[in-house]
A and B are shown apart, each in its own frame.
Chain A
Amino acid sequence: MDRPSGTSYQRFPRVRIRELKDDYAKFELRDTDASMANALRRVMIAEVPTVAIDLVEIEVNSSVLNDEFIAHRLGLIPLTSAAAMQMRFSRDCDACDGDGSCEYCSVEFHLSVHATDSDQTLEVTSNDLRSMDPKVCPVDQARAYQHALGGTDPFGANASNENRGILIVKLRRGQELRLRAIARKGIGKDHAKWSPAATVTFMYEPDIRINEELMETLTVEERISLIESSPTKVFELDSANQVNLFSLVVVKNAEAYTYDDEVIKHAEAIGKPGLVEITAKEDSFVFTVETTGAITAYELIMNAITVLRQKLDAVRLQDDDGDLGELGAHLGGP
């Protein structure tokens, strides 16, 4: 394990944000490797805490769905969880002995809907949930509130008039639903309802090289067919000039490439192997992050980094103790 002292393998990853909306982010992560990128992805899915309904006490339920069914649906409603990082887990909350019902670790919700006179079915949605803590509420309510404030609508043009909430159950005349629910902090590893991530994915940035010499041997038809051989729009004809004999195939959008090898196969099929070469850049990743709305995409990324750091700190602290046991011996430690 003797490393030549002086040479450091430490790299300094760079992040470039391409697009950042409230519930969507796209960024590049460079100068690092897959383990790092994947660790970030995994943490975002499974370990960034949010708040979600965890306990439901049903007082009256005469709807068509049974109690567990409704409880399950309630649990999956994303709640605004900007404060979740600061909240306590109920299991290690001192204020309530892990009871999970104090203000430090829980938020109480009430729902009481009674379909009275109307002959139409009444839709019970997340908008009917009344939160005891204004910071934690169903995401649609938060959106409507922001909209009412006259703030810019970050969720696209017609989010406001489409804001009908998340459907919980439909009631016919005479049916009633009344319940008390307690939301708690948790992580996606325990249950998917606590996962703030709708989509977290990354791809290796492709490195596409077109062999210009070979390309010149192609007819225009062959070039067009080469472009069309890719199911996604990766290539195009050099559109600066009109399509003519000399227009070349250029990369239009490298990231649209799905590593499907279709172009390479096509090149081989027309007898020009090596016409296009595509490799993945081993140290460069394009992340796409979408959230459920519980926290913003920015918070998700930042919280994920925080959580990841905490975990690394935990490992490092262990290392400092030298308490690796047999593992330490294997690593050739002291």
Chain B
Amino acid sequence: MTVPTKDDSQSGTVADTVPLPTYRSLAAPVRKPVDKFALLPAFLKVRGLVKEHIDSFNYFVNKGIKKIVEANNRIEARNDPSIYLRYLGVHVGMPSVHVEYNIENITPHFCRLTDRTYSAPIKVHIEYTVGKQHEVRRKNNFIIGYMPIMLRSHACILYEKDEAELAKYGECPLDPGGYFVVKGTEKVILIQEQLAKNRIIVDTDSKGRVIASVTSSTHAIKSKTVIFMDKGKIYLQLNQFNKPIPIIVVMKAMGMESDQETVQMVGRDPRYGDLLFPSIQECASERIYTRQRALQYMDEKVTYPGATNQKEGRSYSILRDVFIAHVPVKNGNLRPKCIYTALMLRRMMDAIVNSDTFDDKDYVGNKRFELSGQLISLLFEDLFKTMNSQAVERMNKNSDKTHSSPLDFSQLIMQDSITFGLERAISTGNWDIKRFRMHRKGVSQVLSRLSYMASLGYMTRITPQFEKTRKTSGPRALQPSQWGMLCPCDTPEGEACGLTKNLALLSHVTTDQEEGPLIYLCYSLGVEDLLSLSSEEIHTPGSFLVMFNGLILGKHKDPQRLVIDLRNLRRSNVIGEFVSIFINEKQHCVHIASDGGRVCRPLIIADMGISRIDETHMEKLRHGTCGFDDFLRDGLIEYLDVNEENNALIALYEHMDQDDVERSSITHIEIEPLSILGVVSGLIPYPHHNQSPRNTYQCAMGKQAMGNIAYNQLFRADSLLYLLVYAQRPLLTTKTIELVGYDKLGAGQNATVAVMGYSGYDIEDAIVMNKSSLDRGFGRCIALKKYTVLKDNYGDGVSDMIVEPQRDNGVLIKQNMRALDEDGIAGPGQIIRNHDIYVNKRTPKNTSKGIGRALRESDYKDSPALYKGVDGETTVVDRVMLCSDTNDKLSIKCIIRHTRRPEVGDKFSSRHGQKGVCGTIVQQEDFPFSERGICPDLIMNPHGFPSRMTIGKMIELLGGKAGVSCGRFHYGSAFGEPSGNADKVADISSTLIKHGFSYNGKDFLYSGILGQPLEAYIFMGPIYYQKLKHMVLDKMHARASGPRVLLTRQPTEGRSRDGGLRLGEMERDCLIAYGASMLIFERLLLSSDPYQVQVCRKCGLLGYYNHKLKTSYCSMCKNGENMAKMRLPYACKLLFQELHAMNVVPRLKLTEV
């Protein structure tokens, strides 16, 4: 037995709590691998796929909103402070609406169908004064507005409901929630990525200067403080000052009049002194020696003088309130700010001396993720304050005007501002908060319901804050610190590539945690208070500074001890599980973080490389006698954030030796390696065998695949919905697929694929499809489209009319009324064709005002809703829904269904980023067949493989083939081979051999056309194919003649307007190069906008043709003598006229041809 030495504990491991290893324990045989997989479902059961959203919103509803109201709990009339209103408490009720003085509870699905907002009343308890005597009254459950409610949050009626209850509410049990329903559309507030607040970031700016910057953020103010070094001298830059201020001046202004103390505060290292010297010299040369003088100097540089308090001095108040605003100033004591500034300087100089210590802005540990709860809380705070100030405003106005008894505040509070403010922000995505000068666009987005994966993908998406146009590669590159936190595959292509990211499967984003108890705890664990330290003592060697959420708490003489103690407290649940304790040896700092927005992930704790979880624990978990939270409570598992991961040594597997790693130094063990991927990339089988960009492409395509969307898909009223008729579960699954429920809501079909060339219609990734397979339902899909008609009210009882189809002797007067029922609306189940009427609506001719009498039949004109479909396709009215919208107008929603079978040009893709269109459809008898009678569903060209290197697809084929032969779903989870979550190729091959196939998956095929054997063995087996939403039917377009634009008389543009196909510049160039001048003439003049004009040969201006006199006339020359007829494009004539209007005279000079 050895006694722990000093070195031992300084290595950063947490070894003290475990029994020290004896000779026996070290010599014991390595334990058998523990199957840790069950932890994943357990985690997802507790935390769910979108737990971070829901947690964040819950935090806001339960705690955040209370804090906001408490902070602004009293409003009083300006002229008489004894008239007041006090908020005593606040809570959010159950989602409901007011219907005719009744309160009705609402469900999310009801809101989706009726275009309502799923919102709950914000109820407050208030105390206010009434009447002249200022009689105090109380009112409970006073509603100040409605708050949109996140689905599956505490306030939602779906909270902790089981499957049967969810079904009763019309909700899909697999739907993760975490979004809002605003005006009938589902909106997600995306996770916003930003740089960590209140942390010192040392970096270089665009000019190459070393800068240390802090973005401070408190409830009251947000500010950015930058200290930079220019030509050896150090300056402070702050928006409130129009010029950089020498840092020593700032220090002096904060009371550090002694230069010696400043240097002491920064540190005794002579190098710091050398670097500070020029700055001190500069200050001295300005003759600033006193605080007074320094403040004076700074006052001259204030940007907006006058705005701030004159009495205290402008710069003093800026230093107190704006400069590193998050450092609290108690009783005007600026010393903490001095120490903080000194620390910034020290960090900066560290970076100059040793470039290793620069901070990386792209490092995930320096990022914070802002979630819906925080965003809504910002918005609510602003709206709440606005509402209060408006109430005060009204009160003042009233008391000025009338001399009657003063009103009470409760009548002046308007619900609308909060209700509409929240609703508007979430539905438009524009977050405008005046106080913080925050103007963000696209914060919320419509939740895509194209496929189940698409909606899950939205919930894990993280959008960046900075603009996407920047060409920098740094933020786009894959960061090593993303490991396990953010998915390395799932990012879009193009401009947002690498900036928009997605959370990994097991990652979690923290919410704020109470600071007070933690700070108290730190002090009691031996942290010396900052204020009790002299400047010299702060940086004594051996002691570490303790930073708490970016604030300097003090210092500790034995940092390892502190860290171990804190971590043990966390493991034994004394402090929250998301508190991160991180020791930074380079900075000589211990960082403790409890702030929200950090990403973290669970890891198994290992003592000296031995996992705390053993088979008995897993047994309990599998039997359901304990859950993930129990593991957490028992200190078997803990959450590490990105920073704390740096203090850990994480092994993939306990039982396996990793090269060059001392087993005893391992502190944690990964739960499952597949969790480094996200939800969307988790459905790729064998992604670790694919070339990396292919996985990225698949992540984009998986979201476009058609399939089943939700269990309630047929009762939804989305404006466009694509469903697959026979969606299947993939034969080759992954563990992620099972965890997220993709096996229940699949988006694709297992197609038997032969990899061979066939017919030549398969070049460039096109695929050849078997007609019989299509007949039997392969790739068949349903497109549901919603058409809404509003029956408008014009007031005075004048409204639109929906009338039964007009008949003449029992025969419909118009053929296109055949789909209509007797109520004038298309009947469900009716076949509806192009130009058919689906709502037979009539509008009053005069809608401006009532004519004072009942409207007659003749006062209406027909305004039927015409269905615009594709000619020759049969579409059916699926459902008709009638509901009244929020303005009490009748809205008629017709959902029209179209069943489509694949056709040439439809897009398909496997799960490996291999997309292709259907090149041709071939009869089954022409397809190759094997002697077992197997005939492929589609043929894919082998040229798709060499350059794409999608080995995963080949293994999928093998695994799928083995799967169908032996009747077991095979697995292909990422990096799953060692843990048994992915089948090995060798095992698959032996299965194939057992069932009479070749080990390499190739089959001997006969040509279906000739009956002769094909000359090569064909790689054939099942691959999961997705049908993508891009279909020829929606895109094909051609036109001979058609509509024209009114202004230019040129053909319209775009498919939706039946537009022409433009002969553009490049096409024109080709024709010029070829010399086809007559063709150009025809295309550009005759086929587009020919026009005949009268030109005056004398003045060269356009005249006109007088139809009465049958002569042409020049209005400039006032005669018709020299007129000539010519043809030119109408757009040209228009240009001339526009130029005329601008006092430019274009003249045409004509010559005889």
A residues touching B (Cβ–Cβ < 8 Å)? 34-35, 37-39, 41-42, 45-46, 58, 61, 64, 66-69, 72, 76, 188-189, 191-193, 195, 199-204, 231-232, 256, 258-260, 262, 280, 288, 290
Contacts and interface: CB of A to CB of B under 8 A. Distances in A.
Contacts of B714: 64
Interface string B488-528: 00000000000000000000000000000000000000000
B771 A202 contact: no
A24 B555 CA distance: 87
B1011 A192 contact: no
A68 B929 CA distance: 31
A66 B878 contact: yes
Interface in B639-659: none
Contacts of A192: 771-773, 775-776, 924
Interface stretch (B543-551, B967-975, B995-1003): B995-1003
Contacts of A256: 996
B1011 A262 contact: no
Contact of A68 (B775, B899, B924): B899
Contacts of B998: 231, 258, 260, 262
B782 interface: yes
Contacts of B1006: 38, 201-203
Contacts of B876: 66-68
Contact of B1011 (A41, A68, A76): A41
A127 to B, nearest CB: 21
Contacts of A259: 1004, 1013
Contact of B1017 (A37, A66, A260): A260
B829 A61 contact: yes
B933 A290 contact: yes
B1011 A201 contact: no
* Most B Cβ at <10 Å: residue of A35, A256, A260: A260
B10 interface: no
Contacts of B996: 231-232, 256, 258
Given A38-B1011, A66-B878, A201-B932, A191 B997 contact: no
B781 to A, nearest CB: 11
A230 to B, nearest CB: 10
A195 B772 contact: yes
Interface string B774-818: 011100101000000000000000000000000000000000000
B989 to A, nearest CB: 10
Nearest to B996: A232
A35 B1011 CA distance: 6
B931 A202 contact: yes
B26 interface: no
B925 A41 contact: yes
B897 interface: yes
B1011 A34 contact: yes
Given A38-B1010, A195-B924, A259-B1013, 4 more contacts: A68-B782, A189-B923, A192-B775, A200-B933
A193 B777 CA distance: 11
A67 B924 CA distance: 27
List of 3 A-B pairs having minimum Cβ-Cβ separation, nearest first = A38-B1011, A199-B933, A192-B775
A260 B933 contact: no
B930 interface: yes
A45 B777 contact: no
A97 B91 CA distance: 75
Contact of B1013 (A39, A41, A280): A280
A59 to B, nearest CB: 10
Contacts of A280: 1013
B725 interface: yes
Nearest to B1007: A38
B829 A188 contact: no
B924 A46 contact: yes
B1004 A258 contact: yes
A38 B928 CA distance: 11
A34 B924 CA distance: 18
B1012 interface: yes
Contact of A58 (B829, B992, B1003): B829
A6 B462 CA distance: 85
B993 interface: yes
B925 A201 contact: no
A44 to B, nearest CB: 9
Contacts of A290: 933
B925 A258 contact: no
B933 A231 contact: no
A259 B780 CA distance: 36
B522 to A, nearest CB: 60
B897 A66 contact: yes
B931 A258 contact: yes
A201 B776 contact: no
Interface in B1001-1045: 1003-1004, 1006, 1008-1013, 1017
A21 B1069 CA distance: 71
Nearest to A43: B925
Nearest to A68: B899
Contacts of A67: 829, 876
B1010 A35 contact: yes
Contacts of B992: 231
B896 to A, nearest CB: 12
A204 B1013 contact: yes
A186 to B, nearest CB: 11
B923 A46 contact: yes
Contacts of A260: 998, 1004, 1017
Contacts of B775: 191-193
A182 to B, nearest CB: 17
A201 B931 contact: yes
Interface string B915-952: 00000000111000111110000000000000000000
Contacts of A195: 772, 924
B894 to A, nearest CB: 15
A137 B461 CA distance: 55
Contact of A45 (B782, B924, B931): B924
B480 to A, nearest CB: 46
Nearest to B927: A45
A58 B877 CA distance: 14
Contacts of A69: 725, 782, 899
Contacts of A288: 931, 933
Contacts of B923: 46, 189
A203 B931 contact: yes
B994 to A, nearest CB: 8
A80 B625 CA distance: 57
A46 B773 CA distance: 13
A72 B925 CA distance: 22
Nearest to A38: B1011
A193 B782 CA distance: 20
A288 B776 CA distance: 22
B916 to A, nearest CB: 23
B877 to A, nearest CB: 11
Nearest to A58: B829
A53 B777 CA distance: 16
12 contacts: A34-B1010, A35-B1011, A42-B925, A66-B897, A66-B899, A68-B897, A69-B725, A201-B931, A201-B1006, A231-B996, A258-B931, A259-B1004
